[in-house]
Amino acid sequence: MVSIRVESLSLAYRVRQKLTLAARDRRLPAGGRIEGHGRSRHVTALDGVSFSLDAGDRLGLVGANGSGKTTLLKVLYGIYEPTNGTVAIDGRVDALFNINLGFRPEATGRRNIELRGLINGWHPDEIRARMDNIIEFSELGDFIDLPFKSYSQGMAARLAFSIATSFEPEILLMDEWIGAGDPSFQEKARRRMNEMTEKAGIMVLASHNHALLEKTCNKILELQQARLKVFCGTEEWFGKVSPAAAAVQ
């Protein structure tokens, strides 16, 4: 059974370049907290964050820019190692951060499906077996055999999402919802996400679109200046946050 257990997670890194912000600007929430003096200056990107998720959970990450949402996603994906605390994940993790990551501009969409699958550790037989379904879901049609560099942002997002979800990832991490363009594909993508989580998967989605989070997620984790402010059910969180306050998140 898939699960995520995070205990007292902290991440800090040294500031190696000279700071140019005025003192008053360093109090802004964006970018974490700058602490220390001289050569010992560091940024605290996450500070003592704890939470747990189980099969079927869809977690929405909220907070101001720089509060730690993307950093938390990258820790869960293994890109960053925590400075303190523990992260225990049971299940295969896939992520949608930069939709162009891992794609070769000169290669066709079809070839990029193969390459992306190999990068993710999928067996060539699995890739071949899923190829037609990926192409059909992406709705790219004949464009699948054109170079990736010729795709619009929406087309690239469609292909990236179709690949990432075609193998039913047990845990999917997303930094903002895909910008796939038309509402019909957005709705189809949302249904696939729901189907995935209903099959004992976990989704973690960082987004400023609170209407989407209210519709898609069952739990909310709010970060404020690298610290966990709230971790609760979606209905409870939206019941406490006024529409005006939510709009500025």
pLDDT digits 0-9 by tens, 15-25? 655 545 444 44
Residue 35 has a pLDDT of 63
Q: Evaluate if residue 26 carries a pLDDT over 50.
A: no
Q: Which amino acid is at 69?
A: K
Average pLDDT over residues 79-95: 92
Q: Where in the chain is the domain with CATH 3.40.50.300?
A: 3-15+31-92+206-242
pLDDT tens column, 120-160: 778 999 999 999 999 999 999 999 999 999 999 889 888 98
3-class secondary structure per residue, 117-184: HHHCCCCHHHHHHHHHHHHHHHCCHHHHHCEHHHCCHHHHHHHHHHHHHHCCCCEEEEECCCCCCCHH
- Token pair recorded at residue 45: 């990107």
| Range with lowest mean pLDDT among 23-27, 96-100, 182-186 | 23-27
Confirm if 180 and 157 have CB atoms less than 8 A apart: yes
d(C-alpha 165, C-alpha 45), whole Å: 29
197: pLDDT strictly greater than 90: no
Q: How confident is the model at residue 38 (pLDDT cuts 50, 70, 90)?
A: low
pLDDT tier, 205 (very low <50, low <70, confident <90, very high otherwise): very high
C-alpha to C-alpha distance for 195 and 210, rounded to whole angstroms:
21
Answer whether 139's CB lies under 8 Å from 159's CB. Answer: no
For the chain, how many residues are written? 249
Question: Rounded to an integer, what is the distance from CA 231 to the centroid of its chain?
Answer: 17
**Distance from C-alpha of 112 to C-alpha of 116, rounded to nearest angstrom:** 6
Domain 3-15+31-92+206-242 carries which CATH code? 3.40.50.300
Write down the pTM of the prediction: 0.76
Tokens matching residue 30: 């964006």
Chain-wide mean pLDDT for the chain?
84
